[in-house]
Structure 1
Amino acid sequence: MWRLALSSSRSPQSLIVSESDAGAKNLGKPVEDEAVDKNIFKDCSKIAFYRRQKQQLSKKSTYRALLDSVTAGKESTRFQIINEAAKVPLLAEVYGIEGNIFRLKINEETPLKPRYEVPDVLTSKPSTVRLISCSGDTGSLVLANGKGDLKCHITANPFKIDLVSEEDVVMSINSLGQLYFEQLQIPPKQRATKENEEDTSDDTTQENQEELGLWEEKFRNFVDVKDNGPASIGLDFSLHGFEHVYGIPQHAESHQLKNTSDGDAYRLYNLDVYGYKIHDKMGIYGSVPYLLAHKLGRTLGIFWLNASETLVEINTEPAVKYALTQTGPVAAKQKVRSQTDVHWMSESGIIDVFLLTGPTPSDVFKQYSYLTGTQAMPPLFSLGYHQCRWNYEDEHDVKAVDAGFDEHDIPYDVMWLDIEHTEGKRYFTWDKKRFPNPKRMQELLRSKKRKLVVISDPHIKIDPDYLVYAKAKEQGFFVRNHEGGDFEGVCWPGLSSYLDFTSPKVRQWYSSLFAFSVYQGSTDILYIWNDMNEPSVFRGPELTMQKNAIHHGNWEHRELHNIYGFYQQMATAEGLIQRSKGKERPFVLTRSFFAGSQKYGAVWTGDNTAEWSYLKISIPMLLTLSVTGISFCGADVGGFIGNPEAELLVRWYQAGAYQPFFRGHATKDTKRREPWLFGEEHTQLIQEAIRERYTLLPYWYSLFYSAHVASQPVMRPLWVEFPDELETFGVEDEYMLGSALLVHPVTEPKATVVDVFLPGSNEVWYDSKTFSHWKGACTVKIPVALDTIPVFQRGGSVVPIKTTIGRSTGCMTDSPYGLWVALSTKGSAVGEFYLDDGHSFQYLHQKQFLHRKFSFASGVLTNSCADKRGHYPSKCVVEQILVLGLKKHPSSVTSHSPDGKAQPVAFTYCAKTSTLNLEKFSLNIGADWKVQIQ
């Protein structure tokens, strides 16, 4: 038996105490304080559907397509697939979707009961493109899109699909014969005769039944009873010519996915893993079953729409550039292509997979967002710095920390409150002793144009006097257990029930709880943090909910586990929108996520540790989230668990300032670590890092607009910007912010120099501090002191900045702008700027926005309109322009306003660094004007 020991540690693992420890006096001491106990979680050998698939596939039983069964409907082409052993047909459907996407669905033709198909993730019903049947031989069928440049070549026996682009096979499906589909069976107890029971499986012995986990699966002291029996699926994809694959977050692993082996696979199963192990393929808080492959000339995507537990095996065979064949005195050179095989396996559901054919990275990003939605446009304040701790003790503590930022001239935007702000971990309440007047506390923050974020978890304390519990209980809004009663599990409040967010009625009710009249003490500057929503269940199997718990529609939890947190964030975001009557953008941070979570807010990497290795791994983790649609992502600055040394904390602030979501956070048993507590020198360095973030806010906001409307990631691996440069494909210690800035955080202690790779043979790069410049396609040794984070601006770009920093984003609304103009080798540059009110939906509904384009050519910088649909009055002016890479001293500089007036502009020129600094002028950011350099 497992038992609960109350503990001060945040770790749910610390609440797991073995029976042998029952008499110990120190039950409150964490079992695992700073490292994950992997014995609590399954590896592949403990997962029954994995064992079954590996065993069955070793027998090489193949499927064949019955092409005489082909029917072409308005939306899809259908045909049967049959396995000689099972003799029960499956139904395959192939769809062409707008934007060069193919969809393949495989389901039982006549299942005993419906199989789960993931709802609510796709933004709408994708527009289908009629596929044209081309002539094939008797053993094959060729389907083409309207243009005819993309074809699906379906081979009958053995069943295989080749995706062909311009006569080149770029992907093959089931070429390894790993299609696997367990058809639903009548439970053994309901079978009428012994013959029926024997016909169901080749392995009828009790021992084999238990080993294969057909109807029951044991793990530790838990038994998972499966009323529907085995129902897993699997399929393989061969990517021809590809060695580099990315995606399938969330894992604390490298950005480029690694080869797996038997018993080793990337696991997609949302789990509360405190102090997760790095360089490990175990599943942690979120799952996006979406993989990208990239090679010179082509990017592909595979989106496996399945919310049950999923495993992904990867095997890459690198290219052997030249294979020698003895054909004469001189050996012939024959190029051999590389190949990556990807094998997806899920516990249940159907095969529903989208093939994104690119061909460019940008195309694949657009194709994926067409299916699942783009990144929500965040309110501007959320791009500032966030200050969090488990927990700020009371209103006085909040007031003192808030004052500390002002005293040390450090800007910040958001104060956060963890679970202790509530009355006994009852969400939507306040501890009356600690927070007797929450509105007054929020008014203090409001006076400085700051915000408050509070936590709201999915577990609800079982307490008939707790109104939220009583209402949910009365309405039947909780997940049910296997026997039909409310599911009960242990989390922070003790015994709790869990809201069933998969139900539209529950989501609608939960959204209503955020109304100001309902959520007493809340105001319009209060926003929400969804935590523990994997869901975390302290005494459950793998610290989560039993798989046979029952959700809305009588679906078992196993069918939809990975989408549970997605639904809570959806309901929370909708609640914040509703409370403003649809006028204001929400901000919601979630720990658990799924494909499409980007539509509802931000994600972070969970309970990391204050060690250098966690700082380093945060970069590939965030890059992986970014290329799979979730641009608004970050890692807890300083590490959630443990006490960072001052040097590590400074380096983490420097890195976090150049990552999309920027929050300092720490668990309750760590030392206080507000930015001014590490001595004057370190306070100044942290202050500088945070102020750099605020300087770049116009650029950040413009990048998020691009992510929102054009699906381009904010934080980008180098291969996205330089898709034709092989050297970039494996780089993960540096990255691009948009297309203009390259960032290389320092992630090693006591570093005095870092090797920075500057891509692009035709590029020029400028150090953002020294203005030194280098040609691209080389590695540069950059000296670093503790005040240095290597950041380079790409030649040919224009970056908008703020020239003065306020104590929050709201205090900077009318402060002036500057432009950093970095010239290309041809002496030109372009950039964009986006501005709206920063908080409402007026940019969308009333087109109240400015979208400007800056271009520099032949000595003239021009500000012009990039989108004439937008109109937004702004008093803000450009007061400073820095031009990098100008090779001669100007004789004069003049500005030309829209009315045709020319004004001389004061300037200074530094021949040593080839920089021109223009200042002491005033040009409206939203007007057309020119600055001419002669």
Structure 2
Amino acid sequence: MKTLQLLGSFLAAGCIYFGQVATALPASTSTFTSAGTTTTGTAFESDAYSLSDEGTSTSTSWRAWPTLDPKLDVGRAVAPSFNLTYLGSSCTGYKVMNVSESSTGVQATLQLRGDACYAYGTDYKYLQLNVSYETEDRIHVGIYDTDRKQFRFSEREDIWDAPLYHDASYPKDRKYAFHYNEDPFEFWVTRTSDNDTLFDTRGQKLIFEDQYIELTTNMVQNYNIYGLAETIHGLRLGNNITRTLWTNDEASPLDGNMYGNHPFYLEHRYANQTNSGKASSHGVLLLSSTGMDILLREDYLQYRVIGGVVDLYVFAGGSNGPKDTISSYVNAIGLPAMQQYWTLGFHQCRWGYQNISQLEEVVENYEKAGIPLDTIWSDIDYMYKWRDFTIDPISYSGEQFRTFFGNLSEAHKHYVPIVDAAVYAANPSNKSDDTYYPFYNGVEEDIFLKNPDGSLYIGAVWPGYTVFPDFINPNVTEYWKNALYNWSRQMTDEGLGYDGLWLDMNEASSFCIGSCGTGKLDQNPIRTQVTLPGDMYDYSFEFPEGTEYTNASEYQVAMQGQKLQDAATSTAVVIPTASPSTKAKKSEDRNINYPPYAIDNEQGNHDISTHVLGVNATSYDGTARYDIFNMFGYGETKASYKAMLELAPNVRPFLIPRSTFVGSGAYAAHWLGDNHSKWSNMFFSIPGAMIFNMLGIPMVGPDVCGFIGNSNYELCSRWMAMGAFFPFYRNHNTLGAISQEAYIWSSVAEASRRAMKIRYAMLPYWYTLLYQAHAEGTPVFRPMFFEFPDEPSLSDASRQFMVGDAFLVTPVLEPNMTTVDGVFPGDNSTAWYDWYSHEAVNRQYNQNVTLDAPLEHINVHIRGGNVIPLQEPGMTTFETRNNPWALLVALSPNGNADGFLYADDGVSITPNATLSVSFSALNNTLSTYVSGTYAVEQPLANVTVLGVSSAPQSVFFKGQNISSYEYNNDKQELVITNLANLTSQGAFSQNWTLTW
């Protein structure tokens, strides 16, 4: 009790403020005046903190709810098998029989060479080998059990479908060759142009058991591979790690398995690693929805998969660079969905907006501060007792929603709410639950997952005991569509009432192991978390690294609070015990709850069912989640996409799921999950976004300023500036932390205005990049080695990044810095220009250049050789689209540049009209080549040309002599203005030339 009193006194003092000025204020103080002024607030604002355990909803009283025992989510202690004695040493592999070769591939039978070894399951005596020469640069190696007992992913197009199942052309001219040895069976794939070996099992045995498959490829020395997501890691994976693929609701575990599963890697080799002496890239996909460990070691990469079959795809790539390999891969798994134009604007969210009035206040404050805002989001606060497809009748009434949504729409702004994956299971003894149609309708339609005995699988998520839609059930999309529609009728009488969906908790997350709610629905609603952020004993005292120096006194106060809270909540720690190193025995039944091989699951005690929908949950056709475990989020995303498209025909659905799988980009974007307000998390968001662009999900970004813990003005200033150059740009933080909207701190507001001015000016360029990703599979957000593949020093460079091929961004990623170091790749044939000054960068090859970086500034540079379409930035994407155009021409040292613009209505799946404009600068002439019928009505205001070596004698636009231009000899910059009258029909209504 004494500790509690001390903690309460400490919090009531309200004396922590990680801002520019440390101020002791009452705990309820929170003020905002206008743009450019210093604002005040406290770390413990009244809307985020309370010395009670009352929860966030005005209609909810936690005291009346029974509580789920947290021990139900602990799980059995399991030691990961890769750390234990290896049990596959005595396995003898397979030999080849009955070979049949043709122009389309190779087929054969594989027979076990010796006795079964029962390493981690029961060995199959016979296997089927099916090698298919599918396309010019893609080969498929399939290895299946002839008994057909293993789950075959490739036979379930109802679950997962992609172009690679349909686009086989079996060409005669191929970039690869398949080779094999018969006894023991070994195979390798080479690239025909240079004889480089791309995948090589020689000297490595194949193990194929009912719950364990081991496939190993030899690797070149110091290999460079990227992918095998999702995890928090640097860009290049290295050769001494183990990657685990198993969907997991865990916030930012370093090197641990997370929300998504993408068993694909890109390998990039430099000249000294190839036979040809030229850099080259290739890709490898082991298509599986089952859990696996992937061991990356000094000279090999080894897959250890706990079920299924082998469906291996090798993308031959070549010396054209990694972009081509990624394009080939993304075309095979499904090109990214095209996003609506407004999604490129700035988004604001937090867990803790308790009512409509707070949402309205946030929107108004952004307007006052002069900071652009396109979209406001809602976390679970808007729900009635945190139940999907409901609205809190007091804080978020339907009438309030109608007014709010109408005002947003009138201002051309947007609203996106959260939807969780699990549905509240109604209490049959509670009359008030009788009207919760999402549950009763789902039971009637029989679309929820079951236990093996046929009863409902009942887990526990935010609202209490919950059920889970079976997203492979053919009837689930209709159910989901009706739920989304009926929910939207609570918000508005017209349209949907929301502009997109935020699909959370869809790993799927569950706060207990197994069907813990079976026989207990009469206890619902239960409280599934003992504490929540902002509850008693769960105040956030986290802060960014370096705060102890910039805000020393506040740091000390926070540390004292943390100690008091730790003392009040200290519990004993249970140490996991190791599993015995004993081989599996022959068995007719699989142990899916505790498979013989234990993957290195990050969650809990490594139990694979901890904090997730259990592996024995069963679909309508008897499929166990064990076999398709990593696909729940993909299934929900696909169903949501189809449902949204039916509810709003021909409107591109905007979906942001947390859990993703191979091909998710064909339906959705992604945010990088529940990160922390740490400088380290800011850094790791860069390789995170790079990797997802390689995986065919270009619209991606982190929670800017961090989600968990308290941000501060320095971190948030830097992160808001950097976030403006990520495809998806959203500020989001947790319940119980200090507010971090961009207007809270004056420095953050100024940094945001400056960076957003660039982002919104770049909107035509951003949208064109999204279109090219959608049409060709090319990444939007790129590592430097994608653009400069011959420079080995860039193999792990991720403190800088490229937006397309034209922009290089160099953010500050450490506290208390006023400069930042960066490199400017390329030799003397590459020019770089500062975005702000337009001056050329004077640098040597491979040189680190120190750049000035005051707090409110982010360094942005333009690569010579690019023509960049721009528009005058406004406060929304809509306003910007209606502003005049400009062109920025950054010439290469030889005086050339080119560029491309794509435009359409920004909304339709199939636009009625499109516009494509190609730009070419050569011999002091800029030319446009226009095609398409989409009308761009706004005029061209000006053209700026960088790298003009001498002052022009005259300037002609459309053959007309122009006098409104200026030339700066020091910068070698030509600025041509007053072109609006000459383009009054639209900047690109026809072809034109500009000559200087």
Answer whether TM exceeds 0.5 for this pair. Answer: yes
From the superposition, tell whether residues 514 and 925 of structure 1 become closer, same or farther in structure 2 (CA, over 3 Å).
farther
2:381 is equivalent to residue 381 of structure 1: no
Asked whether the equivalents of residues 104 and 133 of structure 2 are also in contact (C-alpha less than 8 Å), the reply is: no
- 1:414 paired residue number: 375
In structure 2, list runs of 5 or more residues that go unmatched: 1-45, 54-62, 117-123, 271-278, 427-432, 514-608
Asked whether the equivalents of residues 292 and 299 of structure 1 are also in contact (C-alpha less than 8 Å), the reply is: yes
Secondary structure at 2:484's aligned position in 1? Answer: coil
Matching residue within 720, 733, 736 for 2:799:
733
Residue identity opposite 2:305 in structure 1 = S
- 1:487 paired residue number: 457
- 1:579 paired residue number: 647
From the superposition, tell whether residues 56 and 933 of structure 1 become closer, same or farther in structure 2 (CA, over 3 Å).
same
From the superposition, tell whether residues 28 and 343 of structure 1 become closer, same or farther in structure 2 (CA, over 3 Å).
farther
2:662 is equivalent to residue 689 of structure 1: no
Matching residue within 770, 776, 780 for 1:714:
780
Matching residue within 906, 909, 912 for 2:970:
912
CA distance in 1, matches of 2:909, 2:172: 37
Asked whether the equivalents of residues 387 and 414 of structure 1 are also in contact (C-alpha less than 8 Å), the reply is: yes
CA distance in 2, matches of 1:114, 1:148: 31
- 1:743 paired residue number: 809
CA distance in 2, matches of 1:115, 1:798: 48
- 2:548 paired residue number: none
Matching residue within 856, 859, 875 for 2:921:
856
- 2:257 paired residue number: 283
Secondary structure at 2:297's aligned position in 1? Answer: strand
Matches within 5 A, 1:639-658: 639-658=706-725
From the superposition, tell whether residues 628 and 698 of structure 1 become closer, same or farther in structure 2 (CA, over 3 Å).
same
Matching residue within 452, 455, 461 for 2:418:
455
Matching residue within 256, 260, 277 for 2:236:
256
CA distance in 2, matches of 1:177, 1:601: 38
Shift of 1:677: 1.3
- 1:46 paired residue number: 79
Shift of 1:154: 1.3
Matches within 5 A, 1:870-889: 870-889=932-951
Shift of 1:126: 3.2
TM-score, normalised to structure 1's length? Answer: 0.82
Shift of 1:622: 1.2
Number of residue pairs matched? Answer: 801
Asked whether the equivalents of residues 130 and 141 of structure 2 are also in contact (C-alpha less than 8 Å), the reply is: yes
From the superposition, tell whether residues 368 and 148 of structure 1 become closer, same or farther in structure 2 (CA, over 3 Å).
closer
Matching residue within 308, 312, 316 for 1:349:
308
- 2:31 paired residue number: none
- 1:85 paired residue number: 115
CA distance in 2, matches of 1:421, 1:862: 52
CA distance in 1, matches of 2:761, 2:437: 45
Residue identity opposite 2:126 in structure 1 = P
CA distance in 2, matches of 1:179, 1:806: 60
CA distance in 2, matches of 1:306, 1:519: 39
Range with bigger deviation, 757-766 or 55-64: 55-64
- 1:530 paired residue number: 503
CA distance in 1, matches of 2:483, 2:795: 47
CA distance in 2, matches of 1:293, 1:723: 12
* Larger strand percent: 1
Secondary structure at 1:556's aligned position in 2? Answer: coil
- 2:855 paired residue number: 786
Matches within 5 A, 1:397-476: 397-436=358-397, 437=399, 438-463=401-426, 465=434, 466-476=436-446
Shift of 1:517: 8.4
CA distance in 1, matches of 2:869, 2:830: 20
Asked whether the equivalents of residues 267 and 282 of structure 2 are also in contact (C-alpha less than 8 Å), the reply is: yes
Matches within 5 A, 1:561-580: 561-580=629-648
Residue identity opposite 1:284 in structure 2 = M
Deviations 1:60-104 (A, max 9, x none): 5222222x3436596763443433223711111001112310001
Matching residue within 481, 492, 495 for 1:511:
481
Matching residue within 176, 181, 185 for 2:208:
181
Shift of 1:516: 6.4
Shift of 1:925: 2.7
CA distance in 1, matches of 2:174, 2:761: 49
2:248 is equivalent to residue 267 of structure 1: no
Asked whether the equivalents of residues 169 and 240 of structure 1 are also in contact (C-alpha less than 8 Å), the reply is: no
2:96 is equivalent to residue 70 of structure 1: no
Range with bigger deviation, 529-538 or 432-441: 432-441
CA distance in 2, matches of 1:172, 1:373: 23
2:874 is equivalent to residue 806 of structure 1: yes
Secondary structure at 1:908's aligned position in 2? Answer: strand
- 2:131 paired residue number: 94
Matching residue within 304, 307, 310 for 2:292:
310
- 1:893 paired residue number: 955
Range with bigger deviation, 819-828 or 552-561: 552-561
CA distance in 2, matches of 1:577, 1:631: 21
CA distance in 1, matches of 2:152, 2:344: 41
Secondary structure at 2:978's aligned position in 1? Answer: strand
Shift of 1:178: 4.0
Deviations 1:281-300 (A, max 9, x none): x1011111111100133211
Shift of 1:56: 3.3
Matching residue within 782, 804, 817 for 2:885:
817
TM-score, normalised to structure 2's length? Answer: 0.77
CA distance in 2, matches of 1:313, 1:485: 39
CA distance in 2, matches of 1:461, 1:98: 47
Asked whether the equivalents of residues 887 and 914 of structure 1 are also in contact (C-alpha less than 8 Å), the reply is: yes
Asked whether the equivalents of residues 231 and 253 of structure 2 are also in contact (C-alpha less than 8 Å), the reply is: no
Shift of 1:419: 0.8
Asked whether the equivalents of residues 47 and 352 of structure 2 are also in contact (C-alpha less than 8 Å), the reply is: no
Secondary structure at 1:374's aligned position in 2? Answer: coil
- 2:41 paired residue number: none
CA distance in 2, matches of 1:455, 1:530: 6
Residue identity opposite 1:892 in structure 2 = S
Asked whether the equivalents of residues 617 and 624 of structure 2 are also in contact (C-alpha less than 8 Å), the reply is: yes
Root mean square deviation of aligned Cα? 2.7
In structure 1, list runs of 5 or more residues that go unmatched: 1-7, 16-24, 131-144, 184-230, 318-340
Asked whether the equivalents of residues 92 and 112 of structure 2 are also in contact (C-alpha less than 8 Å), the reply is: no
Asked whether the equivalents of residues 136 and 173 of structure 2 are also in contact (C-alpha less than 8 Å), the reply is: no
Asked whether the equivalents of residues 204 and 217 of structure 2 are also in contact (C-alpha less than 8 Å), the reply is: no
2:491 is equivalent to residue 521 of structure 1: yes
CA distance in 1, matches of 2:964, 2:486: 53
CA distance in 2, matches of 1:536, 1:72: 47
From the superposition, tell whether residues 744 and 515 of structure 1 become closer, same or farther in structure 2 (CA, over 3 Å).
same
Shift of 1:806: 2.3
From the superposition, tell whether residues 517 and 632 of structure 1 become closer, same or farther in structure 2 (CA, over 3 Å).
closer
CA distance in 1, matches of 2:785, 2:452: 48
Asked whether the equivalents of residues 833 and 852 of structure 1 are also in contact (C-alpha less than 8 Å), the reply is: yes
Matching residue within 314, 330, 345 for 1:369:
330
Residue identity opposite 2:966 in structure 1 = T
Residue identity opposite 1:728 in structure 2 = L
Shift of 1:357: 0.6
CA distance in 1, matches of 2:992, 2:847: 35
From the superposition, tell whether residues 712 and 40 of structure 1 become closer, same or farther in structure 2 (CA, over 3 Å).
farther
CA distance in 1, matches of 2:714, 2:137: 49
Asked whether the equivalents of residues 807 and 860 of structure 2 are also in contact (C-alpha less than 8 Å), the reply is: yes
Asked whether the equivalents of residues 471 and 635 of structure 2 are also in contact (C-alpha less than 8 Å), the reply is: yes
Residue identity opposite 2:168 in structure 1 = T
Deviations 1:465-487 (A, max 9, x none): 21000000122211112332111
CA distance in 2, matches of 1:487, 1:63: 40
Shift of 1:760: 0.7
Residue identity opposite 2:490 in structure 1 = Q
Residue identity opposite 1:232 in structure 2 = Y
From the superposition, tell whether residues 874 and 720 of structure 1 become closer, same or farther in structure 2 (CA, over 3 Å).
same
Asked whether the equivalents of residues 268 and 310 of structure 1 are also in contact (C-alpha less than 8 Å), the reply is: yes
Asked whether the equivalents of residues 212 and 306 of structure 2 are also in contact (C-alpha less than 8 Å), the reply is: yes
Secondary structure at 1:456's aligned position in 2? Answer: strand
- 1:624 paired residue number: 691
CA distance in 1, matches of 2:505, 2:868: 38
